[in-house]
Amino acid sequence: MDNKFSIFNPTEEHQMLRDMVAGFVKEEVEPQALEYDRDEKFNLELMRKLGSLGLLGITADDKFGGSGMDATAAVIAHEELSYSDPGFCLAYLAHSMLLVNNFSVNAGVDLKSKYLPGMSDGSFIGAMAMSEPDAGTDVLGMTTTAELKGDKYILNGRKMWITNGCLDDNGTPADGVLVYAVTGKESSGRPQITTFFVKKDFKGFSVGQKIMDKLGMRGSNTAELVFENCEVPLGYRMGEEGDSLVHMMKNLEIERLTLAAMGLGIARRSLDAMVSYSNEREAFGKPIHKFGQIQRYIADSYAEYMAAKAYVYNTALGMGPEGSGDRKDSDGVKLVATTMSKNVADRAIQVLGGYGYVGEYVVERLWRDAKLLEIGGGTLEAHQKNITNDLIRDL
């Protein structure tokens, strides 16, 4: 299905990338996936290995240590990693897309020269912090503030649900975090939001807690971050005051595209599990794939997966690291592919019966992980609102 050049592998380089990531997943990711999910642990050393493959800076500027690849390459990496371990892949997305791609597009030359090489080789692992305890989809409702005093900004507030916010169970913060904060008001009265790059050793920055007992994505760490009179040098502001909404819009598209790609990986693994099990398991003297209801689960899942896959990869073709400038399809692919992945995983559990309900057979973990994709990076409701508003605007 993937071993020919097509929309899914437009070039030989894309096919080579897919083969490389798939091989790494089989040898390195799959053996640890169940254990790290059960223990709610993030495999930091495995994440660092992705740097040696050129994956951590996959879309980052190659002048500063990145791989300089396109959105299709990013989709391939996320689909293949999620085939085995969506929780680990979410940590990868938080670093490679939310931090590194964002940083590559929006940071100045000085910051990129100093930090992008480490972000790309795995020696520097980070995150992006937007959501707060009382502000998620409503970005303009954030209350974290930054006030310029001399040559430093004083940052105060809390961020919540931050993937990679901590790197272990001891509260060790990420090496660096992109933080969005209010620096004033626009002439319209709307909050002025500005982006800051906060390093782990900045005074006043700490991890509030690692969030435990999540439904899914347990192979990634989720944390609350606290900023108490955190001192951020002026040179660590990205762009000008008020530039964050532009930064967000540029990065949200590729974030949502790669979250949709994670849905593809979940669905493909679930489909493979269904097909294999239905061929091996017998009931009433014949393989269960001979029964019409099982055929419906399998056939519907395949058709829905391929339809979503075509939409995701077609959208990737028209997108660069800065997005496409038209969010309808980046919202659309996430709206379609994430729910599709949850539904396919659900059918896989049904086909496997009791075996599908236990961790050893993978699909229950995929089902749990899939649910987060309908919430994180924009809720389904936010995508529906955005698409409708954009279609009305385009009349």
Looking at the structure, do residues 214 and 227 belong to the same domain, yes or no? yes
Q: Please check whether residue 4 lies inside any domain of the structure.
A: no
Is residue 232 within 8 A of residue 198, CB to CB? The reply is: yes
State yes or no: pLDDT of 365 exceeds 50.
yes
Domain count, the chain: 3
Q: How confident is the model at residue 77 (pLDDT cuts 50, 70, 90)?
A: very high
- Stretch 1-8: mean pLDDT, rounded? 72
Q: Say if residue 119 is in the same domain as residue 69.
A: yes
> Quick one: pLDDT at residue 144?
96
- Is residue 13 flagged as an active site residue? no
DSSP string, 101-121: IHHHHHS-HHHHHHHHHHHHH
- Predicted confidence (pLDDT) at residue 2 exceeds the cutoff of 70: no
Does residue 214 surpass a pLDDT of 80? yes
Q: What does the alpha-carbon distance between residue 44 and residue 218 come to, in Å, rounded to a whole number?
A: 13
Q: For residue 144, give the CATH number of its domain.
A: 2.40.110.10
Domain with 210, as residue range(s), is 127-244
Give burial (CB, 10 Å; 0-12/13-18/19+) of 306. Answer: middle
Q: Does the pLDDT value for residue 248 go beyond 90?
A: no
| Span between the terminal Cα atoms of the chain, in Å | 38
Question: What share of the chain in percent tops pLDDT 90?
Answer: 90
Same domain, 119 and 160: no
pLDDT score recorded for residue 70: 96
CATH number of the domain to which 344 belongs: 1.20.140.10
Q: Give the length of the chain.
A: 395
Q: Is residue 251 part of a domain?
A: yes
Summarize the confidence of residues 225-252 as an average pLDDT: 93
Out of 132, 253, 255, 364, the active site residue is 255
Q: Please compute Rg for the chain using Cα positions.
A: 21
Mean pLDDT (the chain) is 95
Is residue 378 one of the residues assigned to a domain?
yes
Backbone torsion region of residue 96, taken as left when φ is above 0, otherwise alpha when ψ lies between -120 and 50, otherwise beta: alpha
How far is Cα 74 from Cα 93, in angstroms, rounded to an integer? 9
Out of 186-190, 315-319, 376-380, least confident range: 186-190
Is 5 inside a domain boundary? no
pLDDT at 3 over 80: no
Query: Both 253 and 208 in a single domain?
Result: no
pLDDT of residue 1: 47
pLDDT in tens, 142-177: 999 999 999 999 999 999 999 999 999 999 999 999
